[in-house]
Structure 1
């Protein structure tokens, strides 16, 4: 009888989920705002026990010129306010 490690099974299930879906928290880690989510992505889908967006749809949007323009402004704002990881406010 094969041995099944519950932690390994959970890790594989988590990795599988994350390969197809991205949660609101995941979007926030990529600098998305609530407003950008509603404007660019719209409503999430039921992805198991939580609401999320398909990773392929997010990547498609992130590659558009409109989103890239928005993201550049977002990163500029974050950097100016010392909130961009690894960067400081100008003049500091």
Structure 2
């Protein structure tokens, strides 16, 4: 089913308006956050302390497998092209 056939004419306008409003609100919120952090040195430290917490979320195993497969394909392509391995790249097992 096509996206265009699922919705009529005015639904597109409503959808784009909602997405645009959310985007503008996000930018506005981030700008207020930056102004708050600049106004209070403690606020800046709090933001710097909280943003690294994003890295605590685990990477899904499927994504890790995709990355490993991509790396293996790159190594195979380099070996097939006949380029000598450089010092900074690990040799495949």
After TM superposition, the score normalised by the length of structure 1 is 0.29
Structure with greater strand share of residues: 1
Instruction: Tell me: higher relative CO, structure 1 or 2? Use CA pairs within 8 A at least 6 residues apart.
Output: 1
Structure with greater helix share of residues: 2
After TM superposition, the score normalised by the length of structure 2 is 0.29
Larger radius of gyration: 2
